[in-house]
Amino acid sequence: MVDKQHWETVYQSKAADAVSWYRPHLDTSLALIEQALPDREAAIIDIGGGEATLVDDLIARGYSKLTVLDISAAAIDVARRRLGEAAAKVTWLVDDILQVALPAQRFDLWHDRALFHFLTLPEQRACYVEQLTSALKPDGHVIISTFGPQGPAKCSGLDTVRHDSESLQRELGPRFNLIEQRSELHQTPFGTTQQFFYGHFRLA
């Protein structure tokens, strides 16, 4: 289980733009999503979406079947208040990705920026992949962004596991094919940089 109280404390005590992973817009994720799924009726789930503005930008681009999951109710509340009436267009799930009951073969695309690298135990990552494989439609897309090989070994006081295309491929298994990979130097609100790796996979 992910530490729910830790993340509630983070989001209750810090502004949305005062955490290291904050970006005004997740431009790399948006580009990969639009490239993978030009169909605005595609079902998309954002894992660990929290306060991120990805959902705002997807709504603005006309995507209409959006789900945001985060373990922190405080983070979800921030996003819902920010969106105002548009929040009604989104399915919001406050739950642990390792325990939530997601509908089978529901989603065309699974997006995760900065959650997977907090899963430091092999059994956590295996459970995550089981959830992903079950919830994704056949031929569905997966976009996972984690700290890259030169990224931080700790974040928000927690250990992380850094990844590249080979390590993510091992975790996901042979049913997933790598479509594209990107590396990004993320500028934190504090003036430092963090290397992020993005992997776009497709379920075979």
Whole-number pLDDT of residue 148: 97
Whole-number pLDDT of residue 89: 96
Whole-number pLDDT of residue 123: 97
What DSSP letter does each residue of 45-103 carry, written as one string? EEET-TT-THHHHHHHTT--EEEEEES-HHHHHHHHHHHGGGGGGEEEEES-TTT--PP
Superfamily of domain 4-143: Vaccinia Virus protein VP39 (3.40.50.150)
Q: Is the pLDDT of residue 190 over 90?
A: no
Q: Is the pLDDT of residue 43 over 60?
A: yes
Confidence of residue 2 (pLDDT cuts 50, 70, 90): low
The distance from CA 122 to its chain's CA centroid, rounded to whole angstroms, is 19
Per the listing, tokens 């405080």 go with 74
Whole-number pLDDT of residue 14: 84
Q: Rounded mean pLDDT of 178-202?
A: 94
Q: Is the pLDDT of residue 1 over 90?
A: no
* pLDDT tens-digit map of 51-86: 999 999 999 999 999 999 999 999 999 999 999 999
pTM score: 0.94
* pLDDT tens-digit map of 126-174: 999 999 999 999 999 999 999 999 999 999 889 999 999 999 999 999 9
* pLDDT tens-digit map of 86-102: 999 999 999 999 999 99
Q: Is the pLDDT of residue 13 over 90?
A: no
Domain boundaries defined on the chain: 4-143
